[in-house]
Amino acid sequence: MGTLFPSDEWVKMMMEDLNKSDTYLEAAKNWEGDFYFIIDPFGKHDKPTMLYMDLLHGKCREAFYVIDPDVRKPVFRLSGTIENWKKVMTKQMDPMQAMMTGKLKLQGNMAMVMKNVRAAKELVESCTRIDTEFPV
Amino acid sequence: MWFFSSPAIVFGDGALGNLETIKGQRACIVTDANLVKLGYVERVKTALASTGMQISVIDDVEPDPSLETVKAGAARMLETNPDWIIALGGGSVMDAAKGMWILYEHPDIDPEAINPIDLIGLRVKARLIAIPTTAGTGSETTWAIVLTNHAEQRKLGLGNREAVPDIAILDPEFIRNLPGKVTTETGLDALTHAIEGYTSSYANDFCDGLCLQAAKLVFDYLPRCYHDGQDMEARTHMQNAAAIAGLGFGNSMAALAHGMGHALGGALHIPHGCAVSLFLPYSIEYCAHVEGTRYASIARFLSLPAENEQAAAASLVEAIRKLERKIGQPLTLAEAGIDRVSFERELDHLISNAMNDTQTIMALRVPEEDDLRRLFIYAFDGKKVDF
């Protein structure tokens, strides 16, 4: 049985996966910027669910399930429905296409993204490596 | 879910005359100094005369246009307030004009942050007409924008779907006197677009036929253009091939040869078409080692041996190299004039930039750092990719 997404346990597993990955370390060596991964309201969640990751130079320094949205002011916010998150994380949808078609909405320092596209790709690759249970 | 974007395309003899039908108050022609000298800008002004529009000209776009050039051009547009922007030139001019257009409409945008994700909101102030004066870049039919950060010696593969021109005017007269070297380099750029567009991870039904036909046109007509620059039948087909390949790859993305070519162009200033086409055979050899390639379809369409994917990739590579040799193009980085000392000095930089190029990650096989290093070295030495 996989780890429930979204959850504190899940995001910490992703942190562990990223920090073990030499590929991510290389791809994201110039990346600077923390994230809120935001899941639109679904099921019993009547407010967006958020996961925080602090990503710097190929490492994840901190990750947690967000209780108070004001606890951090992240550089990036990536949001979408639970269905679209699932499609991306199970490789049914390409993450770049998801963002380019508005299925996932990215806000933040786009110059950083355009100069470090490999980091973004490897970040999503990490998601797909985690044995995940989805609520939908 | 995906999109297919295209301008209205006016092509063939007399296509420039379509400008007479444009309605507006002010037009800004974006071009380069050489095209002013050749009288091309005057031709466009003459074609616009009956419209009564006020015309301004930005004529200082350089090859591999910089972020600064785009910012400066946008600032000048803010002074003249055009409702039509007319890009007259090759890929550099057309890409710069797209960048200027975006910054003219939204001066707050950082040009390095032009991306395919955000909705920009173009066409509030102006629309864009692209008139290519080379036959290869395809920028006249794409939303891609390649700008150069000279401080970082890096080409930036930018773009936004809204930045596709409204109208592309393909008038063969503008390529009649295209110099031989530019003819071959830009023509091979079109071939690279066609093959990478057909084999990228975003390939789709809407683009497949365009890419195949563009590739065939290049194989059929580029040698004729090379041997006789006044062969206008061949020139016209190459002009069409470039625009068709642009539609193909522009809606399915380019791939590894472009990622490596952008890196090479940024660091060692090899012209774009030369750079990307030089890497094309190596990238095919590299990608042919994985499942899911589609080289057999291309090879069959080109009447090349195609018993299986591996054999098809090999015959396609052979055909490309034969074409490149026939029209005097380099097959290795060494033949392109890069000395080993410069190459080794820049190798880490090349790898880093190719790794993070937006096109590299569209390849069916995306190389990690070690593989990219080997690919560059193989391309320097001219070795068959065996890994």
d(CA B181, CA B202): 31
| Domain at B154, CATH number | 3.40.50.1970
The verdict on residue B1 lying in a domain is no
Q: What pLDDT was estimated at residue B247?
A: 98
Question: What is the number of domains present in chain A?
Answer: 1
Q: Which residues of B touch A91 (CB under 8 A)?
A: none
End residue of a domain, out of B175, B202, B231: B175
Q: Say whether both B221 and B319 belong to one domain.
A: yes
- Domain with residue A95: its CATH number is 3.30.1050.10
CB proximity A136 to B under 8 Å: no
Residue B135 lies in a domain: yes
Span A70-92, mean pLDDT? 95
pLDDT in tens, B200-237: 999 999 999 999 999 999 999 999 999 999 999 999 99
User: Cα(B119)–Cα(A26) distance, rounded to whole angstroms?
Assistant: 30
pLDDT band at residue A136 under the 50/70/90 scheme:
confident
Give the CA-trace dihedral at A127, A130, A133, A134, to 10 degrees: 0
At A1, the pLDDT band (50, 70, 90 cuts) reads confident
Could you tell me if residue A14 is inside a domain? Answer: yes
Cβ contacts of A88 on chain B, cutoff 8 Å? none
- Whether residue A18 lies inside any domain: the answer is yes
Q: What percent of chain A has a predicted confidence (pLDDT) above 90? A: 83
Cα-flanking dihedrals φ and ψ of residue B69, to 5°? -60, -40
Compute the distance between CA of residue A87 and CA of residue A104 in angstroms, rounded to an integer: 11
pLDDT attached to residue A57: 97
Kindly state the average pLDDT of the residues A51-76: 97
| Residue B387 resides in a domain | no
Residue A29 domain flag: yes
What is the b/e burial string over A30-41, where b = at least 16 CB atoms within 10 angstroms of the residue's CB? ebebbbbbbbbe
- What is the predicted pLDDT for the residue at B76? 98
Number of folded domains that form chain B: 2
Q: Looking at the structure, do residues B251 and B356 belong to the same domain, yes or no? A: yes
Say whether both B303 and B346 belong to one domain: yes
The enclosing domain of B371 has a CATH number of 1.20.1090.10
User: Domain check: are B236 and B98 in the same one?
Assistant: no
Q: Is the same domain home to B281 and B227?
A: yes
Whether B361 sits inside 8 A of A118 (CB atoms) is yes
Confidence band, pLDDT 50/70/90 cuts, at residue B316:
very high
Question: How many angstroms separate the CA atoms of B286 and B290, rounded?
Answer: 8
The reported pLDDT for the residue numbered B143 is: 97
Query: Which of A105-109, B100-104, B351-355 shows the highest mean pLDDT?
Result: B100-104
Q: Which of residues 287-346 of B touch A (CB under 8 A)?
A: none
Residues B327 and B223 in one domain: yes
Q: Which of A1-5, A6-10, A77-81, B4-8 has the lowest mean pLDDT?
A: A1-5
Residue B340 tokens read as: 């080993």
pLDDT confidence tier of residue B106, bands split at 50, 70 and 90: very high
In the three-class reduction of DSSP (H, G, I as helix; E, B as strand; rest coil), residue B203 is classed as: coil
Min Cα–Cα distance to chain B from A85, Å? 15
Based on the fold, state whether residues B329 and B188 are members of the same structural domain.
yes
Asked if residue B95 and residue B149 are part of one domain, the reply reads yes
DSSP conformation class of A68: S
- Asked whether residue B138 falls in the same domain as residue B201, the answer is no
Supply the pLDDT for residue A124.
86
Q: How high is the ipTM of this complex?
A: 0.88
B98 and B244, same structural domain?
no
Average of per-residue pLDDT across B348-357:
94
Asked if the structure places residue B362 within a domain, the reply is: yes
Please indicate whether, in this complex, the C-beta atoms of B117 and A100 are within 8 angstroms of each other: yes
pLDDT at A120 over 90: no
Question: Does residue A125 surpass a pLDDT of 90?
Answer: no
Q: Which residues of A touch B361 (CB under 8 A)?
A: 96, 117-118, 121
In a domain, A135, yes or no: no
Query: Which amino acid is present at A35?
Result: F
pLDDT band for B113, please (50, 70, 90 cuts): very high
* A114/B358 Cβ within 8 A: yes
% chain B with pLDDT above 70: 100
What pLDDT sits at residue A128? Answer: 87
pLDDT digits (tens, 9 = 90+) for B250-273: 999 999 999 999 999 999 999 999
Give the model's pLDDT for residue B216.
98
Q: Of the candidates B254, B256, B206, B214, which has an alpha carbon nearest to the alpha carbon of residue B237?
A: B214
| Inside any domain, residue B386 | no
Domain boundary among B175, B206, B227: B175
pLDDT digits (tens, 9 = 90+) for B321-335: 999 999 999 999 999
Q: What percent of chain B has pLDDT over 90?
A: 98
The answer to whether residues A29 and A57 touch, using CB atoms and an 8 Å cutoff, is yes
CA A105 to chain centre: 12
| Confidence at residue A47, expressed as pLDDT on a 0 to 100 scale | 95
User: B261 and B316 in one domain?
Assistant: yes
Residue A119 covered by a domain: yes
User: Is B133's pLDDT higher than 90?
Assistant: yes
In a domain, A94, yes or no: yes
Structural domain for B221, as ranges: 180-381
User: Average pLDDT for residues B180-191, to the nearest whole number?
Assistant: 97
Residue contact B113–A27, C-beta within 8 A: no
Kind and range of the H or E element at B381?
helix B369-381
10 Å Cβ neighbour count for A91?
12
Averaged pLDDT for residues B55-83? 97
Residue A37 lies inside a defined structural domain of this protein: yes
Cβ atoms B266, B148 nearer than 8 A: yes
CA distance A65 to A6: 8
- B372 within 8 A of B354, measured Cβ to Cβ: yes
Q: What residues make up the domain containing A69?
A: 3-129
Do B295 and B198 sit in the same domain of this protein?
yes
Ramachandran quadrant class, B382 (left: phi over 0; alpha: psi -120 to 50; beta: rest): left
Q: Is B201 on the interface with A (CB under 8 A)?
A: yes
**Mean residue pLDDT across chain B:** 97
- CA distance linking residue B129 with residue B86, whole number of Å: 5
CA-to-CA dists, residue A9 to A18, A133, B114, B373, angstroms: 14, 12, 36, 38
Asked if the C-beta of B1 comes within 8 angstroms of chain A's C-beta atoms, the answer is yes
